[in-house]
Amino acid sequence: MINKGGKVLLEVKNLKAEVDGVEILKGVDLTVRAGEVHAIMGVNGSGKSTFSKVLAGHPDYTVTGGTATFEGKELFSLAAEERARAGLFLAFQYPVEIPGVSNSALLRLAYNTLQNERGLEELDPLEFEDLVHEKIKVVEMDPSFLDRSVNEGFSGGEKKRNEILQMAILEPKLAILDETDSGLDIDALRIVANGVNSLLTADNAVVMVTHYQRLLNYIVPDYVHVMDAGRIVRTGGKELALELEARGYDWVRAAA
Amino acid sequence: MSSAIQNLVNQPYKHGFVTDIETETVPKGLSEDVIRLISKKKNEPEWLLDFRLSAYRHWLTMEEPAWASVSYPKIDFQDIIYFAQPKPKKQLASMDEVDPELKRTFEKLGVPLHEQKIMAGVAVDVIFDSVSVTTTYKAKLAEVGIIFCSFSEAVHQHPELVKQYLGSVVPSGDNFYAALNSAVFTDGSFCFIPKGTKCPMDLSTYFRINTEGSGQFERTLIIAEEGASVCYLEGCTAPQFDTNQLHAAVVELVALDNADIKYSTVQNWYAGDENGKGGIFNFVTKRGLCKGINSKISWTQVETGSAITWKYPSCVLLGDNSIGEFYSVALTNHLQQADTGSKMIHIGKNTRSRIISKGISTGRSSNSYRGLVKIGSRATGARNYSQCDSMLIGDNCGANTFPTIDVQNVTAQVEHEASTSKIGEDQMFFFAQRGIGSEEAVSMIINGFCKDVFVHLPMEFAVEATKLLGLKLEGSVG
Ligand SMILES: Nc1ncnc2c1ncn2[C@@H]1O[C@H](COP(=O)(O)OP(=O)(O)O)[C@@H](O)[C@H]1O
Ligand SMILES: [Mg+2]
């Protein structure tokens, strides 16, 4: 394992969370530094999406124990929108449709909100159009998608690409991609992976949630974590993903 | 729903204060004597009393309609005050004569009564309880032959016009509430645009119910002669009482050859509290008659208040090539019930109509679209397009659409589209995750959903409507 040694972006310690009184996360530890790529793998229902949503501040989940800091700030003392503005981005496993709100209007509002937060100039619609047409190339999307309502009538793959377009516009410090690879055919997978790779710098980091190894052929992780029953039960390098692919999850779970 | 959402949703109603002003009322209850008393107080001509009495006698034989998707306790029509007016009763010539307390009320409500409004180009008639208190810019309008005054004044100054058109679009026995209104209506606005005149400013009426236990039964009549055009705006609020109040208005529009009437409403009557206590019962009959060829009537409404809304602004397309339009946003929250929509009756050839209805429901409310498109046998080439979209915010509200289409001419084209979408926690979380706060998210969603309607509102109203909807919805999603 290589420690790229950037500054710590996210530090989660013994995180416990529940939904409707049922504990889902049972003590998760994770440290992510700038410049790193992490993968979280695990069987369905092991708590990967819950972990992502708890970090992003979804109201369904209650944090019952542990701590999380984002660039040294108490994450759980921030509202969901404040976490986003601080640079935490979640690409959703199931992106929602927003009827009546155009993709470009949403992107512009989100972008300008961030600009305000950073004390930078807002972009007017024309300036923003230039930016968005540049960024849309990252995901090889047709610009006609900008005028459509957010995700409305998009195919599964188009929705996933749209998430990455949002990431490209917002340039988060930490992006959590929740199964961005599921539902993508091999071409789309390559496009999305190239897009994500092109956005990676020494100052940001990506956490990919997936249960297939194939995405990791394109976006090579520094760390692979296995989540099971609400805990990270094993951490390794990229070879761990290959091992999981070959042997399944049972041996890790048994060992845990 | 999270508690943050709850807090946001339960924004107090801003217009719920009562003005402490001396009011003259007639005793509660309805009888021929009460009607005679109202007519006498208003010093009305005999023919108008006869109109009232015949409406009343008809009303006695009628049943309250039960077909709408609304439920409410039986209304005791003997427990309503049918006439309430601020004292003194004398006609006011200028704003300076208006009771200062009343003026303060309108200032609080943001009603534009001031001179600066001349710049804004809006002439305002204000109906407080049942009586018109002021009509601004009457003189200026009179220069171009436009009559814009209270209904009572029109009865005295222009009896021949009132007599000719009153009840010509909504006959006194048209329906239960229209009959009740015809019997007891107290005041309202009257507007007459003569041949070939484009009204140089928007005309506006502001309705306010103040007295507890009183009903409001106003009557509006707008006539646009050949080639005339007018844009008319209506706003309404009421104080916050625990008891329900009845509002049963009648609005009649008449457009002659090539005339054009645009009627916009932002309705914000008190809706009752979060447990459904109090609020206005809004049972209103609005109908326009496109009497002449190439005439056009367009209704735009933003309905946000009232405990119950029962309202179907309609167009009767009699003249060949005439056009009827209905653009509506109806929002219901808490236990509000709305059953609203439009009727387009195509009689003339090549008549066209368009219905765009947007229903937004949240809380435990219920919101129904009810529409009728009728193409008569003579209406060759008639066309209608209807679009009814519903948005549900949260899990405890409901939406229905009841479109009725009746086509008796094979050359007609009728199109109907409908959709339902849902805004829940996941949508709001998505916005938050992109850094967008709930207020902005709601306003973005609402503006997106309603834009096809808002573009038809005058600028001023569109801004107000957006704010109002945002306020009503704050925190209903999260
Ligand atoms: N909002 C919720 N309400 C009830 N149960 C939930 C909710 N979210 C997640 N869970 C439960 O938590 C467990 C973990 O789910 P999830 O985090 O989606 O797993 P993964 O993403 O690893 O497939 C599952 O048993 C799931 O049913
Ligand atoms: Mg998942």
Nearest to B432 among A81, A89, A95 (CB): A81
The minimum CA-CA distance between A134 and chain B, rounded to whole Å, is: 20
Kindly report, residue by residue over A3-22, the tens digit of the pLDDT: 556 899 999 999 999 999 99
The mean pLDDT of A33-38, rounded to a whole number, is 97
Share in percent of chain B as helix, strand, coil (round to 5) = 25, 35, 40
Nearest CA to ligand 1 atom 27: A45
Does B244 have pLDDT greater than 90?
Answer: no
CB B343 within 8 A of CB B314: yes
B13 DSSP 8-state letter: P
CB B401 within 8 A of CB B369: yes
C-beta atoms of A149 and B435 within 8 A? no
The mean pLDDT of A75-88, rounded to a whole number, is 97
CB B245 within 8 A of CB B238: yes
ipTM: 0.96
Which carries the bigger pLDDT value, residue B12 or residue A224?
A224
CB B239 within 8 A of CB B210: yes
How far apart CA B373 and CA B44 sit, in angstroms, is 38
Helix (H, G, I), strand (E, B) or coil at A203: coil
Q: How far is CA A137 from the centre of its chain?
A: 20
Global pTM value: 0.80
pLDDT of residue B121: 46
Q: Domain of A215: which CATH number?
A: 3.40.50.300
Decide if A116 is inside a domain.
Answer: no
The rounded mean pLDDT for chain B is 84
Kindly report, residue by residue over B181-212, the tens digit of the pLDDT: 999 998 888 999 999 999 988 888 876 666 66
- Total tally of structural domains belonging to chain A: 1
The mean pLDDT of A110-138, rounded to a whole number, is 94
B431 contacts in A (CB within 8 Å)? 81
How far apart CA A69 and CA A75 sit, in angstroms, is 5
Lowest-confidence segment of A250-254, B354-358, B434-438 by average pLDDT = A250-254
Does B12 have pLDDT greater than 90?
Answer: no
pLDDT of residue B212: 63
Report the 10 Å Cβ neighbour count for B168: 14
Kindly report, residue by residue over B228-242, the tens digit of the pLDDT: 999 998 876 656 666
The mean pLDDT of A189-211, rounded to a whole number, is 95
pLDDT of residue B10: 41
Read out DSSP for B56-114? Answer: HHHHHT------SS---PPP-GGGSB--EEESP-SPPSSGGGS-HHHHHHHHHHT---S
Bridge partners, B402 (sequence order): B370
Report the 10 Å Cβ neighbour count for B47: 13
Cite the DSSP H helix spans in B135-192.
138-143, 151-157, 159-165, 176-184
Kindly report, residue by residue over B311-338, the tens digit of the pLDDT: 999 999 999 999 999 999 998 888 888 8
In the reported structure, the alpha carbon of residue B419 is separated from the centroid of ligand 2 by a whole-number distance in angstroms of 30
The dihedral region occupied by A20, where left means phi > 0, alpha psi between -120 and 50, and beta the remainder, is: left
Distance set, CA A242 to CA A2, A46, A216 (Å)? 18, 19, 9
How far apart CA A92 and CA A90 sit, in angstroms, is 6
The strand pair at B343-346 and B383-393 is best described as unpaired
In B, what residues contact A, Cβ < 8 A? 2, 4, 391, 419, 421, 425-427, 429-437, 440, 444-445, 447-449, 451, 478
How far apart CA B24 and CA B86 sit, in angstroms, is 6
pLDDT of residue B113: 45
Q: Which two tokens stand for residue B2?
A: 């999270």
Which carries the bigger pLDDT value, residue A161 or residue B204?
A161
C-beta atoms of B434 and A101 within 8 A? no
pLDDT of residue B204: 81
Q: Among A81, A154, A171, which would you mutate to test the B interface (most chain B Cβ atoms within 10 Å of its Cβ)?
A: A81
In the reported structure, the alpha carbon of residue A48 is separated from the centroid of ligand 2 by a whole-number distance in angstroms of 5
Share in percent of chain A as helix, strand, coil (round to 5) = 40, 30, 30
Q: Which amino acid is at B401?
A: T
C-beta atoms of A113 and B430 within 8 A? no
Nearest CA in chain A to B432: A81
Which carries the bigger pLDDT value, residue A229 or residue B396?
A229
In the reported structure, the alpha carbon of residue A232 is separated from the centroid of ligand 2 by a whole-number distance in angstroms of 15
Kindly report, residue by residue over B369-416, the tens digit of the pLDDT: 999 999 999 999 999 999 999 999 888 889 999 999 999 999 999 999
The band of B246, judged by pLDDT with boundaries at 50, 70 and 90, is: confident
Kindly report, residue by residue over B286-301, the tens digit of the pLDDT: 999 999 999 999 999 9
Give me the domain span that covers residue A200.
8-100+172-255
CB B403 within 8 A of CB B374: no
Q: Which two tokens stand for residue A180?
A: 């961005």
Bridge partners, A19 (sequence order): A22, A61
Q: Which residues of B426-443 are buried (b: 16+ CB within 10 A; e: fewer)?
A: ebbbbbbbbbbbbeebbb
The mean pLDDT of B39-47, rounded to a whole number, is 93
Please, what is the angle between helix B438-454 and helix A103-117, to 10°? 140
In the reported structure, the alpha carbon of residue B98 is separated from the centroid of ligand 1 by a whole-number distance in angstroms of 65
The mean pLDDT of A56-74, rounded to a whole number, is 97
How far apart CA B332 and CA B368 sit, in angstroms, is 10
CB A85 within 8 A of CB A110: no
Does B6 have pLDDT greater than 50?
Answer: no
Give percent above pLDDT 90 in chain B. 47
Ligand 1 binding residues, C-beta < 6 A: A 19-20, 24, 42, 44-50, 60
B390 contacts in A (CB within 8 Å)? none
Helix (H, G, I), strand (E, B) or coil at B260: strand
Question: What does the angle CA B25 – CA B26 – CA B32 come to, to the nearest 5 degrees?
Answer: 155
CB B260 within 8 A of CB B299: no
pLDDT of residue B8: 36
Q: In terms of Cα–Cα distance, which of A48, A52, A64 is closest to A15?
A: A64
The mean pLDDT of A224-248, rounded to a whole number, is 94
Task: Give the residue, out of A25, A43, A49, with the most ligand 1 atoms within 8 A of its beta carbon, to mutate for a pocket test.
Answer: A49
B451 contacts in A (CB within 8 Å)? 100
The band of B70, judged by pLDDT with boundaries at 50, 70 and 90, is: confident
Report the 10 Å Cβ neighbour count for A219: 21
pLDDT of residue A255: 75
Q: In terms of Cα–Cα distance, which of B272, B278, B314, B42 is closest to B159?
A: B42
Query: Where are any strands of DSSP class E within B318-428?
Result: 323-332, 337-340, 343-346, 352-361, 366-375, 383-393, 398-407, 413-423
CB B425 within 8 A of CB A59: yes
Tell me the backbone φ, ψ of residue B6, rounded to 5 degrees: -55, -45
